[in-house]
Each structure stands twice: as structure tokens, then as C-alpha cells.
Amino acid sequence: MKVCVVFVILGLVSQHASGVEVSEGVESVLLPCVVPWFPVTKVVWSLAGSNPSTVHQHQDKDEPYLQNQHYSRRTSVSADALTTGDFSLTLKEPSLSDSGHYTCIGYRNEVEIGQITVRLQVIVSQHASGVEVSEGVESVLLPCQAPWFHHVTKVVWSRFGFNPSTVHQYKDYVVPRFQNQHYSSRTSMSADALTTGDFNLTLKEPRLSDSGLYTCISYRNEFEIRRIAVRLQVTEPPSLTLLVVLQFLLRFFLMVFLLVVLLALGLLAYILYYTIPVSRVEVKEGVWFVKLPFKSSNQLPENTTVEWTRCAPELMKVHEYRNGGNYLVRQDEFYCDRTKMEKVPLKTRDLSLSLRNPCFRDSGSYICTVHKDREILVQKVVRLRVNVVQEVVEVWKLAESVTLPFKTRGRLPGDATVEWRKYMMVHVFKNGRYRPEEQDHSYRGRTTMKENPLQTGDLSLTLFNLTNVDFGLYVCTVRRDEDIIWKREVLLRVKERGWFGF
């Protein structure tokens, strides 16, 4: 009679089946199996068609070494299941590949005494995200982020309606042999996609023909575990009118940007001007020397470098003091043998610079920078202005000749050009010789300069056979290309007669 009861109950249990439906992405799902009337010694959960079929085994405690590794660390039953009869299975992170028929089997002393079948259906959302891009862009990104990417071994991007349908395949490395040639050399994924879950696909040079439905499928040991659909729409490029508008807007914003940059530079210049001490020095051309003053109020450490530089017409090294002496190796040639500082400027804190034979070209802003190990300790700006000398020469109206004086002590470059002007060209010395073809015809044959004027420094001009139109202001310039180095003004006027014509 007892045996008959067991068989009757066994028949009832083996016929019972339930269904569980869950969406992919939930934390866990519970497969029910409650048989309170059966005292059992072991319970086994298995999946039909799986090899090995054991999903979970419990006998006094969980026995994970007997289970299919696809379910490793993802299954559990209640610790007191054998006493309560609640053998329900908790499955973590259910995915599409977990769908199937699960069987809960109870044993007593290795003899099967009952089973319950539970059908699990994991639903994957098929909602397709949309991406729209214009033809002609460099590339487009098709999104596919997988939050449950653990143990993913392969990712396949495919396109609906294509043969072959594979757009891109990745399995630790790119597998191009399965790819549709329409996408050859145009697709790529992140090199660490399988470890980060970033399965986004980059498609280069998208075309109108690329529009369609794409599917991102992830696999675990050839079992599909997730499917994400992405719809790509490639549109024609903007019309010419729109392009013109975009170009206009781009230019407008570029002008605004440049204006902001200029204002910022102006503000910076203003700040620098009023934060760095500035001195002004003014002298006449022809003096023996000029001093650019700078006396520091701070004690200066040893091994400090003092640099005098000039900003315009280009950045030039004027003078440098370091290692306890004047260092002139990198000095600009225009300032060779013309600069000098005190013998021990760091001790006296007098960093002033003496400039010999200042000329018109020396006018400009000079910056003295004191630094050690590239750290600026102090700076000062000195603005030098060298005024052009104007000389007055008086002669009798009927004089046969007159000399307009201009002698320099500075070194003149050998390729310089000397020009004497009034309101027309009076005399030109260029490339080592007198150039009559460049002077005004009214002065031809009536002007002369001494030989080798650039070597002697005597640029005086002698004018013969004076006429009424010869009186007035003459300007002599010494230039190299467009850079004016020296300049002199000479006013020629009639000498006034005294009483009785004397």
C-alpha cells in the first residue's frame, strides 16, 4: 500500500510543468520547484539538450564541480532546501541562451523519486535604435553596448536582406573572410571590445546604399546570448544653399573668435605693460653712448643669467651676462662691440646696459630678463627713442658748392644703401657704386660722395652749381632692404647778409 502511494504521487509530480518568462537584463530569475511532502537527500537541476546537462546540484551543500560551466557562479538554491522542500533555483543575469526546459529532480538515497519541469523564456527587446547621417561624412558609429558582456567570445554585425549578411565579425581578432565585400576595409571595432562590452561598429564613408537594418549579435561558445538592432539612414548631403549658409556662419564665428583672441591679447599686453616696470630713454643720434637703466631692489643669487633682448623688428639678442661674465656668442651681429654691462652686476644689482653709438634703428623696446634655471626672477622694459639729428648749413646764394655733412661712428653693413632725398631723389649709393640712373635728372652730374663711404662712415654729400631750387630740407637714410638703420636731416638755407652787403 505504501509503494502504491509513492507511485501515484510520483506520477503527479512528473507531469507538473510551469512556465517562466523574463526580459533579458534583469538581475536574476526564480525557477519554482516546491515539493514539501518529499523528504529527499539530493536535488539536481538539469537542462534538456545541454552537455553536460547539470545546471545545479545540491546535496547537503551546493556541488558546483558537477555543473555546466555556462552556469558557473550563476545558480543557487536555499541552504535549507532539503528540510523545507523548496528546491527553487535562482539564476543570475539570464540571457537569450538560457531559454529552455529545466527539470528539477529529487533523489532519496540515489533513487529518483520525483521531478518538475519548468520552461524558461528569456525575451530580448527587438526595438531598433536609429542613426541618421549625411553622405560624405568621414564615418558613422552604430551603437551596441552590452551590459552583460562576460564570457562573450564572438560578435557579429549583420544586415537584414544582404547575402552574405555579415557586415563585420570579431572573435579576439577581425575575421574578414565572412564579410560582405560591400563593406570591405570600411568597418572596425574597438580592439578590446570583448573585455569592455563596447561592441560599437564604425562604418567609414557611409553611402546612400548603406541605409538599412543592422543587427549586433553577441555569442558565448557559439550560443547566441544577445541581439541588438540598429537602423541606419544615410541621407543626401545638404543643398548648396545650406552649404553657403553654413560657410557664412562658420566665417562669422571665426571672426568672432579672432576678435575675442585679439581682445585677450590686448588685455594681456595691458597687464604686462602695467605689471612689468617700464622706463623711457630719449637721445639724439650721434651721441657716444646711451644707458638703458635697470637697478634691481632684490638680492640676486649666484649663477643668475641676465638677458637683454629687443622685440622689434624681430626678436634679437642684445646682450647676455652669465657664469660671472659677459656672454656674447649668441649676440645679434647688429649689436656686436656696442654693448657693455657693469663688471659685477649681480653684486651691485646694477643691471643697466650701455649702448655705444646709438642710431635711428636702435629705437624700440628692450626687455631685461633675470632668470635662474629658467625661472624668471625679475623683468624690466626700457623704451629707447633715438631722435634724428637736424643740422643747418648756410651758404651764399651764388656759392659754387656746398657739403651736406653726415658722419657716423657706427659700423655700417657692406650691403647697405645710402639715399639722399629732398622731395625727389638727389643721390643714391647702392651695391658699392653711385647710381645716377636712380636720381632725379635735375641733380645728375651735380652731386658726389667720398670713396668707400660705408667703410669710412662719412656719408656727406657735396652739391655743385647751386640754384634757387636747391635750398630746403634734405634727408639721408641708410637702409638694408626695407630696414632703416641710420637717418640724418640737413637744412640748407641762404646765409643772411649784414649791413652794406657784407
List the pLDDT tens digit at each of the 502 positions of the chain: 333 333 233 333 343 457 898 876 677 899 999 876 668 889 999 998 888 889 999 887 777 777 888 888 889 998 888 888 899 999 987 877 788 899 999 988 888 888 899 999 887 655 557 899 988 899 999 998 876 666 788 899 988 777 788 999 988 666 677 788 899 889 999 888 888 888 999 999 999 989 888 988 888 877 777 778 888 999 987 665 666 777 788 888 888 998 898 888 877 766 655 556 788 999 988 888 999 999 988 888 888 889 999 876 678 899 998 877 776 667 888 888 889 998 888 888 899 999 998 988 888 899 999 988 878 888 889 999 998 888 899 998 777 899 999 988 777 888 899 999 998 999 999 988 999 999 999 999 999 999 989 999 899 999 998 888 889 999 999 998 878 888 889 999 888 655 444 4
Residues whose CB is less than 8 angstroms from the CB of residue 479 and which lie 6 or more positions away in sequence, other chains included: 416, 417, 419, 485
Strand pairing report for 325-326 and 316-322: antiparallel
Contact 156, 219 (CB under 8 A): yes
Residues whose CB is less than 8 angstroms from the CB of residue 472 and which lie 6 or more positions away in sequence, other chains included: 422, 423, 491, 492
Which residues are registered as beta bridge partners of 291?
A: 354
Q: How far apart are CA 217 and CA 171, in angstroms?
A: 12
Res 104: pLDDT: 93
- pTM of the shown model: 0.41
Residues whose CB is less than 8 angstroms from the CB of residue 92 and which lie 6 or more positions away in sequence, other chains included: 27, 28, 73, 74, 75
Cis omega (within 30 of 0) on the bond before 293?
no
Res 1: pLDDT: 34
Alpha-helix runs per DSSP H in 81-135: 81-84
- Residue recorded with cell 659754387: 400
Res 17: pLDDT: 57
Q: How far apart are CA 324 and CA 343, in angstroms?
A: 9
Is the sign of the CA dihedral 206, 210, 211, 215 positive or negative? Answer: negative
Res 198: pLDDT: 87
Residue 457, judged by CB atoms within 10 A of its CB (0-12, 13-18, 19+), counts as middle
Sheet holding 61-62, edge to edge: 17-23, 111-123, 100-108, 42-47, 54-59, 61-62
The x, y and z cell numbers of residue 288, run together, are 657716444
Res 195: pLDDT: 82
Which residues are registered as beta bridge partners of 187?
A: 203
Specify the 3-state DSSP secondary structure of 347.
helix
Strand pairing report for 54-59 and 316-322: unpaired
Which residues are registered as beta bridge partners of 141?
A: 202
Specify the 3-state DSSP secondary structure of 56.
strand
Alpha-helix runs per DSSP H in 109-237: 193-196
The x, y and z cell numbers of residue 133, run together, are 547621417
Q: How far apart are CA 475 and CA 359, in angstroms?
A: 15
Q: How far apart are CA 311 and CA 321, in angstroms?
A: 19
Sheet holding 289-292, edge to edge: 289-292, 353-356, 339-340
Contact 462, 449 (CB under 8 A): yes
Single-letter residue type at 182: H
